[in-house]
Amino acid sequence: MTTFLPKYLADDVRDARLSARQKRSRLRVRIGQKAYPVIDMKPSGFTVAAKDAPHLRGLVDIYDGAIHLFQCLIVASDETDGHMMYEFKRMTAVHADAPVDFARDPLAPVALLGKQG
């Protein structure tokens, strides 16, 4: 029995695996109004399908579904096997609350209750 696959079959298998990984991933990288599915994300960068994304560069946002996770400065790193790899120059987590310039008292009241009567 042979383990050799013709090129067209090997390409179809690779494309099917790539498509399945994209569908499983909820992560998206967004630049402007366009969003691209993230195949793999590591602390140093992330991977996108080469056929989907152009050579992205600059400021992008990373979302998990509708949740904004990071704002990143990226540069295209490498293209191998149908994947485009990007490296982070800067990755900043997005917070829902604005930063404060003072220490909060942990015993301070959370809200004020009005008079009832």
Residue 53's domain is classified under what CATH number?
2.40.10.430
Instruction: Give the structural domain span for 22.
Output: 7-93
- pTM here? 0.65
What pLDDT, on a 0 to 100 scale, did the predictor assign at position 56?
Answer: 83
- Integer CA distances (angstroms), 29 to 19, 25, 32, 110, 114, in order: 16, 11, 10, 36, 45
Backbone angles phi, psi at 9, to 5 degrees: -70, -40
In a domain, 47, yes or no: yes
In a domain, 106, yes or no: no
Residues 6+ positions from 87 with CB-CB distance below 8 Å: 44, 45, 74, 75, 77
Name residues of the chain where pLDDT drops below 50: none
Convert the pLDDT of each residue in 31-63 to its tens digit: 888 899 898 889 999 998 888 777 888 999 999
In whole angstroms, give the CA distance from residue 46 to residue 61.
Answer: 12
What pLDDT, on a 0 to 100 scale, did the predictor assign at position 12?
Answer: 74
